[in-house]
Amino acid sequence: MGFGTDTLEKCYQRDENAIPSSFILREHPRQPREKYIKKQNPIEGNSWFMVLQEGKRILHDVVNLCLREGTMTHGKAQKYLQSALENDIRCAYEGHSNEDIARCACYVHKVCIPRKRNSDVQCQRLSDLCDNFLPSLVASHKAIVHCTETKCSHIQDYTSERRLDFAVGLGEQMYEDLRTLIDHAASNKSLVEVERFGQKDLCQVFSSLYRIDRAEIEKLRSYLEAENTKFPLIVSGRPCLGKTVLLAHCAMQASVWLKNLDPDIHVYFIDVNISFRLLLNDICGKVASANACANIFQLKEAFKRLLTARSQSKSPLVIILDGLDQLQKTDGQPDLTWLPQSLAPNVKLIFSVSTNSPRLLTSLKRFYPDSTLFCELQSVESKRCSQLLANRLQESNRKITSGQQMYVNVAFKKSSVPLYVELLHKQVVHWTSEFEVTSETLDQDVYNNISLLFNHLEKKHGKVVVSKALSYLTLTRYGMTPAELTDVLSCDDDILVSFLPKGDALPLRLRIPEALVQSLLLDLKGFLVLRNIFGTKTFYWVSRQFGLVVCNQYLSLEQSRQMIHHVLSDYFTGTWANGTAKPLITNVDRKMAMFQAKLAMELFLWLEKTSQLVFRMELQSLKNILRSSSCLLSKNPADLPALQEPCTPGDYQRILPAIKSSCQTLPCVNLRSSEYHQMERLPSFLCQSPV
């Protein structure tokens, strides 16, 4: 049997960057998730679909031939014979713990139609999946699997009513299962001890990002092990050098270095949301179980007394403050009066300060003039960055060609910081061996690379969705869970308009797809980390630089920030909770001046676009009326008074009775209030003067 390779070459291309080298499916351009974007050519889409189906058929025949000849094992052939559904189910269940499987729910619905019997191989595999694989999980792992069967006869087919009955039952069963899973998860979380702000959990997260050994770690260890250190250790460095990761790793290793002394270690990762009063209150409360104090001066003295009192203890006290420069700033000199002039031998203080805050660094050096405990973090060697990138690619079974590696090495010589390696890995992991790299392909600035990452996400998921999602994640004080992010995005009118179904019938409830949010979060994996806040896992930026880029790129306007804060306030205060419906208002942002000659075309275009989503017949009629009036007025402006008198809604209904029923639900664009809603009758501004 002979097979041609022309069809397969249209579907696949060889990628030498994969380990091992393999053929990958060629990318098919996706349609952006933005409204009013012109759809792709249906002829091109059908052509690609036909080529893809032919390629699948050829692969299927070749695999079966290899099985018969014995050149391919049965296990290896499965990845070519399995459908996407089977791949997803097996990926979700196979090789996972009982705890993970217990969080999955599967619903199988069999529709038995006697006249539709199919002996196709895929049907047999589906039957084996439903009858053998899933039931075995119930017996071995107590998995949640529900199987229902609908039998049809020659007389009674699988009608829409029966589909509706199944959908209602499925919804009720899913609701009960989800409630059970949520209650079970909540009961487990109540047993977990959660420290304030989730600092302990955050320390473990940042410590796991320590992938390059730094020479400065020995200085930190020597400081902690030294018996007589009178001053704090100040670690400084420019942004993105890895100060936070270094201190987190130091905190995790301190218990090992000082294991014979039973150290009392406290770590705080400061951000702009933590006030100085709150920080001192939390330290005093954890170390000495002191009562909260509202007076800032009393807090400063209490902190000093706390450090002095620990001099009598045999176990050392270690306090690590990362990002001292992030505390709320004042216009004057930094206030260091809360720090003691000298420390007891068993008290260790470690601070990190950015070199972008020279005033704070200078003040610390003046406050401790006799101290030599100032450590400036240096850049990582470019070779170690290249090795880290190679290791990260190896984890993904990828590599790059020697020509591509040459440009990467040049980039690392100009920017050798750990965060840049992670950002570059996000790009390089998608390079194929045919991808051509030039000197302009790689940007050496961390800030610009973060911006390029966001731009890539905009092209993939849509600018509105990405800008709003990143803004909500950045402006929430303690981060957001995936479910909260989906809820908040579903409360945003600008996003919901993109998901309005076509036609006149609007859904009772409108919500953005969960898959869209999960896909966006998956693309941000590695840059968004999960932290523990009161027993709940919330997303948190791995570096402050991401928040800065989001603020500059999406929140530079005061109106944008206020809108984001308003939606967050409504959501977290429960404005739309307990069954309270939220009206969908789409901003038109048009005024009566649009009807003038210069802006009339913009109004017609808006009506044309909006009619593709809602009220197609009504808005098309409105557009035709306004266009005709505009043409007549531009040629004969003196006829305006005559136009106003006869062209009333009643006259149109008497002349064309067919539009009378449509006029009862004609949408109104209130050009003065910039709101969109549904009116009982034809809008009155049709018979008003456009001037």
Question: What pLDDT, in 10s, does the model give residues 213-222?
Answer: 898 999 999 9
**pLDDT at 118 exceeding the cut of 70:** no
Asked if the model's pLDDT at residue 190 lies above 70, the reply is no
Do 287 and 354 lie in a common domain? yes
Predicted pLDDT of residue 332: 55
pLDDT band at 166; cut points 50, 70, 90? confident
622 part of a folded domain: yes
Count up the domains in the chain and report the number.
6
pLDDT tens-digit series, residues 241-300: 889 999 999 999 998 998 888 888 888 888 766 778 878 887 887 776 656 566 788 888
Q: Are residues 231 and 299 in the same domain?
A: yes
pLDDT band for 368, please (50, 70, 90 cuts): very high
350 with 493, same domain: the answer is no
**pLDDT (0 to 100) of residue 632:** 56
Q: What is the pLDDT of residue 55?
A: 79
Longest dimension (CA), the chain: 99
Looking at residue 32, its pLDDT comes to 46
Q: Is residue 506 part of a domain?
A: yes
Please tell me whether residues 348 and 225 are part of one structural domain.
yes
The predicted structure's pLDDT at residue 679? 37
Greatest mean pLDDT among 31-35, 63-67, 188-192 lies in 63-67
Helix (H, G, I), strand (E, B) or coil at 146: strand
Residue 227: per-residue pLDDT? 82
Report pLDDT digits (tens) over 447-500: 999 999 999 999 999 899 999 999 999 998 878 889 899 999 988 888 888 777
Q: Distance of alpha carbon 582 from its chain centroid, rounded?
A: 24
Residue 129: DSSP 8-state:
I
Compare 232 and 601 and report the one with higher pLDDT.
232
- Greater confidence (603 vs 59) lies with 59
What is the CA 305 to chain-centroid distance, rounded?
45
Could you tell me which residue, 592 or 358, shows the higher pLDDT? 358
Within-domain flag for 149: yes
Nearest to 607 by CA among 586, 623, 625: 623
Quick: pLDDT tens for 171-181.
889 888 888 88
Tell me, what's the pLDDT at 449?
Answer: 93
Please tell me the predicted confidence (pLDDT) of residue 302. 86
Regarding whether 563 and 616 lie in a shared domain, the answer is no
Q: Which of 188, 204, 180, 299 is nearest to 252 (CA)?
A: 204
Strand order in the sheet with 233-237: 264-269, 317-322, 347-354, 233-237, 374-376
Residues 6+ apart with CB under 8 A from 308: 340, 344
Task: Examine the domain organization and report whether 630 and 519 are in the same domain.
Answer: no
pLDDT at 681: 38
Chosen domain end from 81, 108, 134: 81
CA atoms within 13 A on the CB side of 72: 17
- Predicted local confidence at residue 452, as pLDDT: 92
Domain that holds residue 25: 1-81
Q: What percent of the chain has pLDDT over 70?
A: 76
Model pLDDT, residue 670: 39
Same domain for 365 and 239:
yes
Q: Answer whether 200's CB lies under 8 Å from 267's CB.
A: yes
Tell whether 138 and 219 lie within a shared domain: no
pLDDT at 691: 34
Q: Which of 376, 399, 433 is the last residue of a domain?
A: 376
In angstroms and rounded to an integer, the radius of gyration of the C-alpha atoms of the chain is 32
Residue 592 pLDDT: 39
Q: What percent of the chain has pLDDT over 90?
A: 22
Q: What pLDDT is stored for residue 469 in this prediction?
A: 94
Domain boundary among 129, 163, 191: 191
Determine, yes or no, domain membership for 353. Answer: yes
| Residue-level pLDDT at 116 | 54
- pLDDT at 131 exceeding the cut of 60: yes
As a whole number, mean pLDDT of residues 363-368 equals 92
Residue 264, strand partner residues:
317
**Is the residue at 581 inside a domain?**
no
Q: Does residue 659 have a pLDDT over 60? A: no
Count Cβ atoms within 10 A of the Cβ of residue 520 and give its class: 0-12 exposed, 13-18 middle, 19 or more buried: buried
Mean pLDDT to the nearest integer, 207-216: 90
Amino acid occupying residue 102: A
Split at pLDDT 50, 70, 90, the class of 4 is low
- 393 lies in some domain: yes
Q: Out of 68-82, 151-165, 190-204, 543-557, give the one with best mean pLDDT.
A: 543-557
Residues 496 and 434 reside in one and the same domain: no
How sure is the predictor about 669, in pLDDT bands with cuts at 50, 70 and 90?
very low
Domain identity same for 566 and 605: no
Q: Which residues contact 117 (CB under 8 A, 6 or more apart)?
A: none
Residues 297 and 180 reside in one and the same domain = no
Which of 364-373, 598-607, 650-659: highest mean pLDDT? Answer: 364-373
Whether 56 and 47 have beta carbons less than 8 Å apart is answered as: no
Considering the domain boundaries, does residue 86 fall inside one?
Answer: no
Of 463, 483, 401, the C-alpha closest to 32 is 463
Written as six digits, the tokens of 270 are: 């400061």
Task: Assess contact for 90 and 82: CB atoms under 8 A.
Answer: yes
Tell me if 87 is assigned to some domain.
no
Both structure tokens of 530: 């999960």
- Taking the whole predicted model, whether its pTM rises above 0.75 is answered as no
- Examine the domain organization and report whether 361 and 386 are in the same domain: no
Q: What is the mean pLDDT of the chain?
A: 78
- Cβ-contact 10, 58 below 8 angstroms: no
